[in-house]
Amino acid sequence: MMPTPSTTLDLSSDVAHLTARLLDLESVSGNEAGIADAIEQALRRLDHLEVVRDGDCVMARTGLGRSERVILAGHIDTVPLPTVPGSRGTVPSAWDGDVLYGRGATDMKGGVAVQLALAAALTEPSRDITFIFYDHEEVEASLSGLGRVAASYPEWLTADFAVLLEPTDGTVEGGCNGTARFDVRIAGKAAHSARAWRGVNAIHGAAEVLVRLRDHTPATVHVDGLDYRESLNAVTITGGTAGNVIPDSTVIEVNYRFAPDKTPEQAEEYVRTLLEGFDVERTDAAAGARPGLQHPAAAAFVAAVGADPKPKYGWTDVARFSALGVPAVNFGPGDALLAHTDDEHVHADAIRACLGALVTWLS
DSSP 289: B
Contacts with 90 (C-beta within 8 Å, 6 or more apart), sequence order? 81, 82, 101, 102, 103
Q: Which of 32, 40, 77, 160 is catalytic?
A: 77
CA 324 from chain centre, in angstroms, equals 17
Q: E strands, 287-350, where?
A: 310-311, 328-330, 345-347
Q: Which of 32, 40, 107, 137 is catalytic?
A: 137
- Concerning whether 77 is annotated as a catalytic residue, the answer is yes
In SS3 terms, 114-160 reads as: HHHHHHHHCCCCCCEEEEEEECCCCCCHHHCHHHHHHHHCHHHHCCC
Distance CA 267, CA 272 (A): 9
DSSP 4: P
CA-based nearest residue to 324, from 61, 66, 55, 71: 71
Please name the amino acid found at residue 307. Answer: A
CA-based nearest residue to 71, from 175, 161, 152: 161
Cα dihedral 9→12→16→17 (10° resolution):
-50
- Concerning whether 253 is annotated as a catalytic residue, the answer is no
* Greatest extent of the chain over all pairs of C-alpha atoms, in Å: 80
- List the catalytic residues: 77, 137
